[in-house]
A and B are shown apart, each in its own frame.
Chain A
Amino acid sequence: MPELDRRSYAGKAPTPERHVPLVVVGAGAAGVAAAVEAARAGVEVLLLDEHPVDNDMMAMDVPLCFGQRMDATVRNRGAMLERVVETNPALAAADEAGVDVQLGAYVWGAFVNGPTVQELPSPMLGVADDRRSWLVGWDRLIVAAGARDVLLGFPGWERAGTLGAAGAAALLTRYRALAARRIVVIGSGALGLHTAALALDHGVEVAGIVEVDAHVRGDAAAARALAARGVPFFTGHTIRAGRGRTGEIESLVIVAVDGAGEPIAGRETQIACDAVVMAIGQTPSVELLHLVGARLRFASPLGGWVPELDGSMRTTVPTVFAAGDCAGVHDAMLAAPDIARDQGRIAGAAAAESLDRVDRTRRGAAAESRGPVNEARHSFAGGESLGPVNEARPGFAGAESHGPVNEARPGFARAESLDPVNEARPGVAGAESLGPINEARPGSAGARRTDGGVRGAMSGPPDYWQRWLASLIAAGGWEVNVCQCEEVTRRELVETKPPRYLEWDSPQMSARSVGTLLRDGPVNQDQIKRLTRAGMGPCQSRRCREQVGLLLAQAAGTTLDRIPLPTFRPPIRPLPLNVLWPDDEPAAMREHWVSWFGIPTQFSPHWEPGMVLDEPTAHTRLIVSDE
């Protein structure tokens, strides 16, 4: 038997520093319910949540669009931890149920074996706080990662003070740190009305609710209640520009639109404000689900790409479940958190039951070894209370058998969905029925159409977003940045212009556009991203992902559901090199590290055939020899 290639990954995959039967990602309503349900069934559960998020991360609009409207208190991590715990009483319930709750812990990756990775000892999550990263192995994973705001640009939206509804809600409630006194809300659906009411409840003035459609889209009674509290409604309006003398939003100029969504000259209104909250819609946060290879489909009524689920909230990867907004978000969920909680309970129970089936005795042993749970309380991964967490680690690291995990091989579910035809045509998936879970949900409130709508049979939020985008283009033009990080305008996107810093121009290049690319195949957001750089910045396309898709759909004469899902790549949170830095690097990794394959003849000078240029490793010398 020859020695196995020492420079390959074989035998070098890391052992997670902790292995947990069930990890739940996200401590919102669904995640906490899932964790509690599973813990009550006797399962050892680790519940991870990234809040309170580090100030630098918030400043990059990660994970939500905070629009630089955090007040200075967010720099006080201890105080923020207290607030996050205080404002989410369910965390205490989870703790009492025996769930290990870790806050301030970013989940930045999910790694599973699959067609191109066979070395991992178990599925694992990459987790990090502000100082270091580590790996957590799991047998079952419940993703309850919530939803992101759909943002659309307008002239001046780069100014501090443009937030998303979820970002604003987090600052109003979880952090109690919104640095804005007078806001304008964009969108009059359930999300917009909810956001306005939330702001008023927290003493923030609402200077207006702007709606491109001719009528208020949300519940009439809720709208009347807001009007009674002095909130003006501007229906049939779109945004002309956000203005300010400095880098801050000081006012928003809106303009009335006609039935076709075109701005009407002279019908402009300037509203003084210090924040603009985009509340036109949300889209599920499916990054982790994508990384584990769960099959996704486009469901307009559910806010875009969602995991395919069975009746127990199980994804197409048998060991992975999804619950709450990340499984599909719609208006009714805002008013009724019970919907998310019910999904969480179903997922928690199903995960517990499937673990039970796999190994009843092992689960019991794990539960016993947990010891006095409450001592750990809410351990704050980023703070001073690391002690209990670290103490708990050694017990888990090597002791677990990975048998059941490998048996399940979740990564291989990915192989089933590799059909290149379907990959290239996600619209096929979008045309399927909504499935058992989704059918049970209340329908979309966004089905109402106006004459300003775009072509296509699609109904639901994306159709509404497309109407907004059309009006914003009509009122704000094509020279508006769609991608703030990389400063790519709408025009540069659809003309597939190389980035400005290349200062490149040629007749050939000028002749190219999304239109010419369409001759070669369906429009692909990842391809456009490579060419224009839209979506390649530090916010990891959180601010522009949907509007890039909508713009491409518009340019291609199609609808958002026909644009293939742009990929997500780890780390799904932007993390510094010295945080990702592994303290637990296996010795063999360092010892045999080479830059390329380490095939001795690969880089031999061709005029001296047979010469070996052996790249040195940590403990070898450079060998240059003629064999």
Chain B
Amino acid sequence: MMSAMTQTRGASVVIVGGGVTGLSAGWWLARAGVDVLVLDKSIVGWEASGRNGGGATHVYSPFGLEEQRLWPQMDELLGYPTEHQPFRIGVALTDTQLALARRWAEIGEMRGFRWESLDRRQLKELVPIVGDNAIGGTYLHFGGHANPQRTVQAYAWALQDHGGRILQHTTVTGLVQRGGRVTAVETTAGTLGADVVVIAAGPQTGAFAEMLGVWLPVAPARVEMIATEPIPLMHVGGVAGNGLYGRQTLRGNLVYGGGPHEWINVPDMATPEHTNTPLVRNLARRLAELLPGAAHVRVIRAWSGLVENTPDGLPVVERLARPDNVVIATMSSVGFGLSPASGRAISELVQHGRCLFADLGALALGRFADTPRDWRERAGWVAASPAVAAVAGGNG
């Protein structure tokens, strides 16, 4: 530990959080020649960034067009495989599911993307393991999916290839402020100087904002996924529906999540163990309903992850007014697929003070200025405790 303290130096840009957003930002900065250091309390991409559905179809977002433009190039840009695969198929078992799938497709159409409506016969030709319970679906000629685990490591390695640095197993304990700026971060590996600090710390982002006197309402929750043994590859791996998100991996595993989340309190900067619940059974059922031809396939693992949400479920990506050398980023539980674009936006906020390719006005922190401290209780996300309700006042 002592040697780490003496050897580690700060960087022009220090990124707090080695999740997919921080890593992408670090990679974009490093490839632009910026001296960048990413800090993570454990291993890069170890939390929700490396354990999610891998979806890359978020055309509704301000980052959506850039997401769609970048993903097909990512393997080449990074120099490492992300397993990105294009296209999505939506399977509907009910009229309302079909309406949702079509609405999702139409939002893409509004941005100029192509899609087709599928009847049951067409659906079964494309996805032979759907059942007679399917009523139809959609074939999106946009969007796609990638392997989260491989992608986070690809960002990390590519960042290093461009001269950036990563410090794992290093917890940030404080932010040093002087003259209206953050001048350094305090860590378990010593105090590290920085010209600009990016905070992209997932569920802990709100706590770091708090250290700067900035109110960022985020609520952490646990979500769960299951993975099956491999089955023969489908024509399109990005098949989902019936209240599940997920994909077939290039190895052939069916990897799906969905259903109820559990809002939790994260007591401190530590991330708790990844615990599953009997929800894995409910997920198995939904998947067997979605793909009856695979009902006999074995589930070989499940996992859980912690994600954070803002009150409106939309990201916050902003360069603060004060301290003015800090960028704060939470993707509000939808970060993986958008990461090529969100990282680019952050790197531009760091270098130019603004995002050059998209209008981030909708993602500004100011929209929560009047959000009261007890917003989670008011929204019914967590049970109101009388004691908390009594002391909680509006933030104003």
Contacts and interface: CB of A to CB of B under 8 A. Distances in A.
Interface of A: 1-5, 7-10, 12-14, 109, 111-112, 114-120, 124, 126, 133, 135, 293, 411, 414-415, 418-421, 423-424, 486, 498-499, 501-502, 504, 506-509, 512, 520-522, 524, 527, 530-531, 533, 536-538, 540, 567, 569-571, 574-578, 580-582, 585, 589, 592-597, 599, 601-607, 609, 613, 615-616, 620-622, 624
Interface of B: 41-44, 50, 60-62, 64, 75, 79-81, 83, 94, 96-97, 99-100, 103-104, 107, 110, 149-150, 153, 156-158, 161, 166, 168-169, 171, 221-222, 228-230, 240, 243-245, 250-251, 258-264, 266-267, 270-282, 284-288, 294-304, 306, 309, 312-314, 332-334, 362, 377-381, 383-384
Identify which of B266, B277, B379 gathers the most chain A CB atoms within 10 Å of its CB: B277
Given A502-B83, A576-B295, A585-B282, A5 B380 contact: yes
Contact of A9 (B61, B277, B296, B312): B277
Given A8-B263, A580-B284, A589-B260, A124 B278 contact: yes
Most buried by A among B228, B284, B295: B284
Given A115-B266, A498-B80, A570-B276, 11 more contacts: A117-B277, A498-B81, A530-B149, A536-B301, A581-B288, A593-B259, A595-B243, A596-B245, A596-B334, A597-B333, A599-B309
Nearest to A586: B282
Given A12-B260, A577-B228, A596-B245, A602 B314 contact: yes
A577 B295 contact: yes
Contacts of B267: 115, 415
Nearest to A499: B251
Contact of B301 (A116, A540, A607): A540
Contacts of A567: 274
Contact of B42 (A424, A599, A601, A602): A424
A552 to B, nearest CB: 14
A147 B40 CA distance: 36
Contact of B273 (A7, A12, A414): A414
Contacts of A506: 79-80
B285 A581 contact: yes
A606 B62 contact: yes
Contacts of B62: 606
Contacts of B274: 116, 567
Contacts of A621: 96, 99
B314 A9 contact: no
B262 A420 contact: no
Nearest to B1: A421
Contact of A580 (B150, B245, B258, B281): B281
A109 B280 CA distance: 10
Task: Give the interface centre of A7, A520, A537, A575 by most chain B CB atoms within 10 Å.
Answer: A520
B285 A585 contact: yes
Nearest to B167: A520
Contacts, number: 284
Nearest to B161: A508
Contact of A119 (B258, B277, B285, B379): B277
A560 B114 CA distance: 53
29 contacts: A4-B383, A5-B380, A9-B261, A10-B262, A13-B277, A109-B280, A111-B278, A117-B277, A420-B169, A421-B169, A508-B80, A536-B301, A537-B300, A570-B302, A577-B295, A580-B280, A585-B281, A585-B282, A593-B260, A597-B261, A599-B309, A599-B313, A601-B313, A605-B110, A606-B60, A607-B110, A613-B60, A615-B243, A616-B94
Which of B228, B250, B267, B314: most chain A CB closer than 10 A? B314
B281 A581 contact: yes
Nearest to B168: A521
Contacts of A293: 273, 275
A411 B276 CA distance: 12
A240 to B, nearest CB: 31
A605 B105 CA distance: 12
B2 to A, nearest CB: 14
B264 to A, nearest CB: 5
Contact of B107 (A486, A512, A589, A605): A605
A116 B304 contact: yes
A582 B377 contact: no
Contacts of A118: 262, 264
B301 A2 contact: no
* Interface SS, A side: loop
A119 B262 contact: yes
Contacts of B103: 613, 622, 624
Given A13-B277, A580-B285, A582-B282, A2 B380 contact: yes
Contacts of A135: 278
Contact of A509 (B61, B79, B314): B79
Given A8-B263, A527-B43, A620 B96 contact: yes
B281 A126 contact: yes
B229 A538 contact: yes
A509 B153 CA distance: 11
Nearest to A624: B103
A440 to B, nearest CB: 31
Contact of A508 (B157, B171, B230, B258): B157
Contact of B251 (A501, A512, A530, A616): A501
Given A120-B277, A498-B150, A577 B384 contact: no
Contacts of B153: 527, 530-531
Nearest to A56: B298
Given A524-B43, A574-B300, A2 B107 contact: no
A575 B262 contact: no
A576 B297 contact: yes
Nearest to B245: A595
Given A521-B169, A569-B301, A606-B62, A512 B250 contact: no
Contact of A2 (B270, B333, B379): B379
A610 to B, nearest CB: 10
A414 to B, nearest CB: 6
B306 A109 contact: no
B275 to A, nearest CB: 5
Pick the most buried of A2, A3, A10, A116: most chain B CB atoms within 10 A of its CB. A116
Contacts of A111: 275-278
A602 B298 contact: no
Contacts of B377: 2
Contact of A593 (B75, B258, B288): B258
B47 to A, nearest CB: 12
A540 B300 contact: yes
Contacts of B44: 520
Contacts of A9: 260-262, 277, 279
A501 B250 contact: yes
**Of listed B43, B94, B171, B379, residue having the most chain A CB within 10 A:** B43
B60 A605 contact: yes
B250 A502 contact: yes
Contact of A116 (B79, B83, B262, B302): B262
Contacts of B285: 577, 580-582, 585
A111 B278 CA distance: 7
A205 B277 CA distance: 48
Nearest to A573: B298
A116 B304 CA distance: 9
A486 B156 CA distance: 25
B81 A420 contact: no
